[in-house]
C-alpha cells in the first residue's frame, strides 16, 4: 500500500493534517511543540486510492526534553519508506531557517514532495506563498488543516501521485480492514511498554527513553506472527490523575483508556524489578471494569533476583503477581526482558492461545450441567427471610463488539437476582473455570429474575373421551 509521510518542524499542524486526512482524531493536537514523537500510522480515508498516513515528530527544533535527535531519526525513517512526502510549513508564521534546512534535505529525497502551506485560514494568508518559493519545491498547495480549507485540491494532488502506485483496490481494502487481533500494551510510565513492542517487532519503531511519559499517543502498529495478523497498540503510561501535570498528559491518558475499550486483548506490562505498585493495581482494575481479556507481562525479569535458580524466580514472580493482582486471576502471565529480547515472542504466542481458547464457548447443555453441579456441591446461602437463590436456566450471550476474541456473558435466569451474593458469584466463577478453562478471558455473570412458571413446560390439558 502506498505510504504518505507528513514531515515538518514542530507546531506547524502535522497532527491536525493527519487527523483530517485519516477522518478521525488519532494524533494528539496541541499547541505545545514536540507533542508528537513517534511515527503514527493510519489508513487515509479521503483519497480515492487507499494509502497509509504516517505522522512524524517535529524536525529541527531544540526540544526541552532532549528528544530532538530521536525525533529527527524517526522522520528520516518515514521519509525513506514513504512513496509521497507532505512537507508542512506554517504560512502565518512565515519561512524559517529550519524550514530551509529541511527543504534542502527533502530536495534530495527520492519520493515526490508536495509543499503544504498550512494555517491559511483567510485570504490574506495566501500572500505568504511567495516567501516559500525559495525552498525550491515547485509542487505546492495551501490548506487550513484545522478548518478543512482547500482539502479537495490537496487530495487531488495526492491522488495524482498515488494513482500509479496503487494495486488492486479490493485487496488493499481487505488489508486495511484485516487488522487481526488488536492488542493494547498498557501500564504505568517507564514499565517498558515501547521497549516490549520494539523487541517483538525487532525494529526501533517507538521511541524508548528512561524519561517517563515518552509515549503520548496510542500508536497502532500492524504485525504478522505465526500466520496471525496483529495490531499492536502502544499507549501512553498511565499516571495517577493527581500527578498528570499538563493537558497533553491528560489527553494521552484519555487516548489510553479509549485504546483499552477498543482492543481485543489488554497486555498489562509490569516492571517486575520494581514490583507491583498501587498504580499497577488501578490499571488492572480498569481492565477488569472494561471486562477485557488480559495477559500480564512481567518485564525486566532479568533484574528480578538475578543469580537465583530460574524455576525459583518464576515461582516467586508468580506468587508476587497473584497476591498483588488477585482480582485479575484469570490473566496468564509471561516473564520476559524487553531489553534483552528474552522470551518476548511468548507474548504473541500467549495472545494466540487466548484467542483460540475463547472460540470454544460451552453449549447451553454443558453450561447448565456445570452450574447445577456446582450449586448441588455447595448450595447458595439463605437470606434473612430464609430465601435461597434458585437457578432455572443459563445461557450465553455474545456482545457484538467482541469479534476476534469473544467474551460471552453468562445469563442466569434465577428466582431473585438480589439473592446472588458476590461471594457466591465468585464461587460459581471458580467452579466454571475449573470445568471450562479459558485463560485470559473474564467470566461475566448476568443474573436476571424470572418466575419459575416461565421455564416450566406447558401442562397437557385433560382430553375427554
More confident: 80 or 388: 388
CA atoms of 392 and 377, how far apart (whole Å): 17
DSSP letter at 144?
Answer: B
| Count of C-beta atoms within a 10 Å radius of residue 422 | 7
pLDDT for 63 equals 42
pLDDT given for residue 25 in this prediction: 64
- Nearest-Å Rg of the Cα atoms of the chain is 27
pLDDT-based confidence at residue 452 (cuts at 50, 70, 90): low
CATH classification (class only), 3-175: alpha beta
Cα torsion 331, 345, 41, 66: sign: positive
Q: What percent of the chain has pLDDT over 70?
A: 73
CATH number of 178-358: 3.40.50.300
What's the CA angle centered on 237, arms 343 and 260, to 5 degrees?
Answer: 80
Q: How wide is the angle at C-alpha 349 spanned by C-alphas 345 and 350, nearest 5°?
A: 115
Cβ atoms of 179 and 229 within 8 Å: the answer is yes
The answer on pLDDT for 444 being more than 80 is yes
Secondary structure (DSSP) of 379-442: PPPB-TT--B--EEEEEEEE-TT--SS--EEEEEEES-GGG--HHHHHHHHHHHHHHS--TTPP
pLDDT top residue among 238 and 408:
408
- pLDDT at residue 178, rounded to an integer: 57
Q: Which of 333, 332, 349, 339 is nearest to 225 (CA)?
A: 349
Q: What is the pLDDT of residue 246?
A: 46
Report which listed range, 64-68, 151-155, 351-355, is most confident.
Answer: 351-355
> Is domain 364-454 classified as CATH 3.30.300.20?
yes
Number of residues written out for the chain = 465
Q: How high does pLDDT run on average in the chain? A: 78
CA distances from 224 to 228, 343, 465 (A): 6, 17, 73
User: Could you tell me the residue ranges of all domains in the chain?
Assistant: 3-175, 178-358, 364-454
Residue 351 is predicted with a pLDDT of 95
CA distance 37 to 57: 4
**pLDDT band for position 114 (50/70/90)?**
very high
In this structure, what is the dihedral angle of CA atoms 431, 437, 441, 446, given to the nearest 10 degrees? -30
Position 38 scores a pLDDT of 44
Q: Which three cell numbers stand for residue 119?
A: 494555517
Q: What is the mean pLDDT of residues 25-40?
A: 46
**What mean pLDDT comes out for the span 257-283?**
88
For the segment 162-182, what is each residue's pLDDT rounded down to a tens digit?
887 755 444 443 443 456 899
3-175 and 364-454 share one fold: no
Predicted pLDDT of residue 258 = 76
C-beta atoms surrounding 37 within 10 Å:
23
Q: Are strands 265-271 and 219-225 parallel, antiparallel or unpaired?
A: unpaired
Q: Percent of the chain, pLDDT > 90?
A: 28
* Residue 20 phi, psi dihedral angles, 5° rounding: -65, -45
Amino acid at each position: 500500500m502506498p505510504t504518505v509521510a507528513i514531515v515538518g518542524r514542530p507546531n506547524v499542524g502535522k497532527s491536525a493534517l493527519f487527523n483530517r486526512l485519516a477522518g478521525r482524531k488519532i494524533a494528539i493536537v496541541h499547541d505545545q511543540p514536540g507533542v508528537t514523537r513517534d511515527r503514527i500510522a493510519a489508513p487515509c480515508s479521503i483519497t480515492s486510492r487507499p494509502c497509509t498516513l504516517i505522522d512524524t515528530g517535529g524536525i529541527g527544533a531544540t526540544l526541552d526534553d532532549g528528544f530532538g535527535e530521536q525525533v529527527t531519526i524517526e522522520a528520516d525513517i518515514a521519509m525513506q519508506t514513504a512513496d509521497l512526502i507532505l512537507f508542512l510549513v506554517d504560512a502565518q508564521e512565515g519561512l524559517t531557517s529550519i524550514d530551509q534546512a529541511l527543504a534542502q534535505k527533502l530536495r534530495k529525497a527520492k519520493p515526490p514532495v508536495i509543499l503544504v502551506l498550512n494555517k491559511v485560514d483567510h485570504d490574506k494568508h495566501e500572500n505568504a506563498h511567495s516567501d516559500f518559493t525559495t525552498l525550491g519545491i515547485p509542487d505546492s498547495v495551501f490548506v487550513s488543516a484545522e478548518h478543512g480549507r482547500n482539502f479537495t485540491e490537496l487530495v487531488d494532488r495526492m491522488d495524482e501521485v498515488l494513482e500509479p502506485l496503487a494495486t488492486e483496490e479490493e485487496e488493499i481494502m481487505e488489508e486495511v480492514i484485516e487488522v487481526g487481533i488488536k492488542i493494547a500494551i498498557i501500564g504505568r510510565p517507564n514499565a517498558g511498554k515501547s521497549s516490549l513492542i520494539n523487541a517483538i517487532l525487532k525494529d526501533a519503531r517507538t521511541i524508548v527513553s528512561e524519561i517517563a511519559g515518552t509515549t503520548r499517543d496510542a500508536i497502532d502498529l500492524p504485525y504478522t506472527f505465526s500466520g496471525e495478523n496483529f495490531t499492536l497498540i502502544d499507549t501512553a503510561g498511565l499516571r495517577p490523575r493527581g500527578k498528570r501535570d499538563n493537558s497533553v498528559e491528560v489527553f494521552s491518558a484519555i487516548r489510553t483508556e479509549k485504546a483499552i475499550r477498543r482492543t481485543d486483548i489488554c497486555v498489562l506490562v509490569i516492571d517486575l524489578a520494581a514490583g507491583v505498585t498501587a498504580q499497577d493495581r488501578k490499571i488492572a482494575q480498569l481492565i477488569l471494569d472494561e471486562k477485557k481479556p488480559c495477559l500480564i507481562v512481567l518485564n525486566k525479569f532479568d533484574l528480578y533476583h538475578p543469580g537465583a535458580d530460574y524455576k525459583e524466580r518464576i515461582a516467586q514472580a508468580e506468587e508476587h503477581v497473584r497476591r498483588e493482582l488477585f482480582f485479575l486471576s484469570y490473566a496468564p502471565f509471561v516473564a520476559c526482558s524487553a531489553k534483552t529480547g528474552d522470551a518476548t515472542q511468548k507474548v504473541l504466542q500467549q495472545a494466540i492461545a487466548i484467542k483460540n481458547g475463547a472460540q470454544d464457548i460451552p453449549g447451553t447443555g454443558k453450561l447448565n450441567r456445570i452450574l447445577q453441579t456446582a450449586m448441588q456441591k455447595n448450595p447458595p446461602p439463605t437470606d434473612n427471610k430464609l430465601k435461597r437463590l434458585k437457578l432455572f436456566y443459563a445461557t450465553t450471550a455474545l456482545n457484538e463488539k467482541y469479534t476476534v476474541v469473544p467474551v460471552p456473558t453468562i445469563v442466569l435466569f434465577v428466582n431473585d437476582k438480589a439473592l446472588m451474593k458476590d461471594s457466591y458469584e465468585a464461587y460459581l466463577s471458580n467452579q466454571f473455570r475449573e470445568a471450562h478453562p479459558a485463560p485470559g478471558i473474564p467470566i461475566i455473570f448476568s443474573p436476571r429474575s424470572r418466575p419459575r412458571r416461565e421455564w416450566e413446560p406447558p401442562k397437557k390439558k385433560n382430553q375427554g373421551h
